[in-house]
């Protein structure tokens, strides 16, 4: 029975991501779930913590935000691609979610790389923290080893939410959320050298060593290491600029080299109950001794 409800949730979330411009009404999603419309919305909210309408709106606006930040497509075209043929309706919904009009959001500062000329003396530090000359909060940490359980994702990094939309129902249906740690995502490939359709990532949660690997999930491990951690506050669409700062400015100036381990992100809160401007993400890159 648990598997049946889990499968329905996964099927519905996959459908929303695959058809943002389609009919995503409650009745349509109930049909996808193969459950009565009188009960499906109650099941969905009880198991995910948000209503179907909230999930649809959140996913549509996330996809729109990524398109605005990373493409030159006209706003009207982006609006249609996420199910809003009326540009005014799209603008109101987007502003309610992100606090800015689509056009203002596209030109917002968080999406432009904050690059400084390389400093010969390296980053100024006080203890483990980088000084205010760095445009983002950055610190060096002795990061612990992490055991992760999750699902692989192939394609645009901005769409890793599709994998999380499958992972979440699995954990919810099996009552595993109280047993797991933070959400952690691994990003294996460089977006400038690998075609978008071939980008590999891993949507996961941290799990304790003694916990059996849940059926249907894959395991990855991160080694304990000195790690540079950049804490980014704001919409996920702005993360690319923060990565550029680390690789183009911070790493060369620091004199440190990355460990042979993919960069990863630790999500300190969730877009399900947090405004985009208040989202906190730790970009983490393990360093050689």
Beta bridge partners of 89: none
Q: Is residue 253 part of a domain?
A: yes
Among residues 62, 22, 57, 268, which one has the least CA distance to residue 160? 62
**What is the pLDDT, as a whole number, of residue 126?**
35
pTM: 0.84
Q: Which of 40-54, 55-69, 112-126, 136-150 has the lowest mean pLDDT?
A: 112-126
In this structure, the answer to whether residues 82 and 160 fall within a common structural domain is: no
Percentage of the residues of the chain whose pLDDT score is greater than 90: 81
User: Strand 225-233 relative to strand 218-222: parallel, antiparallel, unpaired?
Assistant: unpaired
Domain count within the chain: 2
Between 108 and 116, residue with greater pLDDT: 108
Structure-block tokens of residue 130:
């980088």
Based on the fold, state whether residues 174 and 277 are members of the same structural domain: yes
Give the integer Cα–Cα distance in Å for 287 and 289.
Answer: 6
Element (H, E) at 62: helix 52-70
- Residue whose structure tokens are 């877009």: 271
For residue 130, the enclosing domain spans 125-286
Q: What is the mean pLDDT of the chain?
A: 90
Residues in the chain, overall count: 289
Distance CA 133, CA 220 (A): 35
pLDDT at 125 over 80: no
pLDDT tens digits, 165-184: 999 999 998 999 999 999 99
* Pair of tokens at residue 202: 């891993």
* Secondary structure string (H, E, C) spanning 145-185: CEEEEEEEEECCHHHCHHHHHHHHHHHHHCCCHHHCCCEEE
Each residue of 243-266: pLDDT tens digit?
Answer: 999 999 999 999 999 999 999 999
Domain end point (choices 107, 140, 172): 107
Q: How far apart are CA 285 and CA 289, in angstroms?
A: 13
Supply 192's token pair.
């400038």
**CATH number of the domain where residue 203 is located:** 3.20.80.10
Query: Count H helices, E strands: the chain?
Result: 10, 10
pLDDT digits (tens, 9 = 90+) for 42-101: 999 999 989 999 999 999 999 999 999 888 999 999 999 999 999 999 999 999 999 999
Whether 114 is in a domain gets the answer no
Residue 131's pLDDT band, with cuts at 50, 70 and 90, is very low
143 and 91 belong to one structural domain: no
> What is d(CA 261, CA 192) in angstroms, rounded to the nearest whole number?
18
């Amino acid at each position: 029975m648990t598997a049946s409800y889990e499968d329905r949730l996964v099927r519905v979330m996959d459908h929303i991501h695959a058809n943002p411009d389609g009919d995503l009404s409650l009745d349509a999603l109930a049909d996808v779930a193969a459950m009565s419309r009188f009960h499906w919305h109650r099941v969905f909210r009880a198991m995910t913590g948000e209503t179907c309408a909230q999930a649809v709106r959140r996913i549509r606006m996330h996809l729109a935000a990524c398109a605005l930040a990373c493409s030159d497509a006209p706003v009207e075209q982006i609006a249609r691609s996420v199910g809003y043929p009326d540009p005014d309706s799209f603008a109101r919904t987007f502003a309610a979610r992100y606090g800015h009009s689509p056009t203002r959001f596209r030109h917002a500062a968080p999406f432009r790389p904050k690059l400084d000329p390389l400093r010969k003396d390296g980053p100024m530090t006080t203890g483990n923290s980088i000084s205010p000359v760095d445009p983002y909060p950055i610190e060096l940490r002795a990061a612990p080893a992490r055991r992760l359980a999750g699902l692989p994702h192939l394609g645009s990094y901005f769409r890793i939410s599709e994998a999380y939309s499958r992972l979440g129902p699995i954990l919810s249906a099996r009552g595993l959320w109280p047993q797991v740690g933070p959400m952690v995502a691994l990003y294996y490939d460089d977006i400038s050298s690998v075609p978008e359709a071939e980008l590999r990532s891993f949507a996961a949660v941290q799990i304790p060593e003694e916990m059996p690997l849940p059926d249907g999930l894959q395991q990855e491990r991160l080694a304990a290491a000195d790690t540079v951690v950049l804490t980014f506050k704001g919409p996920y669409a702005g993360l690319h600029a923060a990565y550029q700062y680390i690789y183009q400015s911070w790493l060369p100036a620091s004199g440190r080299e990355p460990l042979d381990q993919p960069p990863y992100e630790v999500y300190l809160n969730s877009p399900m109950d947090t405004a985009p401007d208040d989202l906190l993400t730790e970009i983490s890159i393990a360093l050689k001794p």
